Amino acid sequence: MRRRLVAGNWKMHGSLAANGALLLDVLDGLPSEAKGECAVCVPFPYLAQARDHLAGTPLAWGAQNLSEHAQGAYTGEVSGAMVAEFGCRYVLVGHSERRALYGETDAVVAAKFMAAQRVGLVPILCIGETLEQRESGVTADVVGGQLDAVLDMAGVEALANAVVAYEPVWAIGTGRTASPEQAQEVHALVRGRVSVRSEAIGAGIRVLYGGSVKPQNAAELFSMPDIDGGLIGGASLAAADFLGIVRAAG
């Protein structure tokens, strides 16, 4: 049985004061009987704050990016070891905003995935197609290709300690959620693609859905057999909304 995960991705939002309050509100409202797991991925400067507030609590934390390099002359970059020092469990890798706005290729994303695992972080590998790609019928090729880039470089065993997040680009921040059936179709494809290489790892890997998840649509999405939780953007910035989604995950 896969343990559900609901992870918030704050993106580039907040401040020390606002984020501190948000963390405390989320902690305060976390259902004590929850079987699933819950995490927040915060901007780099707030990792220490997340650690200070969350250490020893059931709420895990993570970063939104890392360098593919271990150290060196890479001004402005942050290494996996630096992120790990702040007690992170997770790190997002290959978010569509990173791919689209910062030119992260499949190869760079795969290198980041491996860099995360080298320092003991669990990568949340984000994949997903654009609207244009969906409308031209190449969703399976795009998503499969993004996944294969990591499988080929890191090997299927690496997926045993990773999470995949399917985030259709057209559903991110648009209010236009994939229908549960649309998401399920891609989630099954992702799991199948891993299962071809290792049935056990395919069966065990958690595949999250991301893209305009709200308390109102979360339960329906999470009821699908291959949807193991969510990666939540906008709704993770309001404690009540995020907690509503956490409760929907059970």
146 forms part of the interface with ligand 13P (CB under 6 A): no
Q: Which of residues 27-66 bind ligand 13P (CB under 6 A)?
A: none
Using the rule CB under 6 A, which residue among 45, 58, 173, 192 binds ligand 13P? 173
Q: Which stretch binds ligand 13P (CB under 6 A): 46-54, 111-119, 185-193, 227-235?
A: 227-235
Is the Cβ of residue 27 or residue 238 nearer to ligand 13P in the bound state? 238
Binding-residue total with ligand 13P (CB under 6 A): 14
Choosing from 95, 97, 104, 129, which is the catalytic residue?
Answer: 95
232 forms part of the interface with ligand 13P (CB under 6 A): yes
Is the Cβ of residue 150 or residue 232 nearer to ligand 13P in the bound state? 232
Distance CA 144, CA 240 (A): 35
Choosing from 53, 68, 167, 187, which is the catalytic residue?
Answer: 167
210 forms part of the interface with ligand 13P (CB under 6 A): yes
233 forms part of the interface with ligand 13P (CB under 6 A): yes
Using the rule CB under 6 A, which residue among 108, 213, 239, 243 binds ligand 13P? 213
The structure tokens 């329906």 sit at: 220
Distance CA 230, CA 234 (A): 12
Is the Cβ of residue 167 or residue 226 nearer to ligand 13P in the bound state? 167
Is the Cβ of residue 156 or residue 162 nearer to ligand 13P in the bound state? 162
Could you list the residues that contact ligand 13P (CB under 6 A)? 9, 95, 167, 172-173, 210-213, 231-235
What is the set of active-site residues? 95, 167
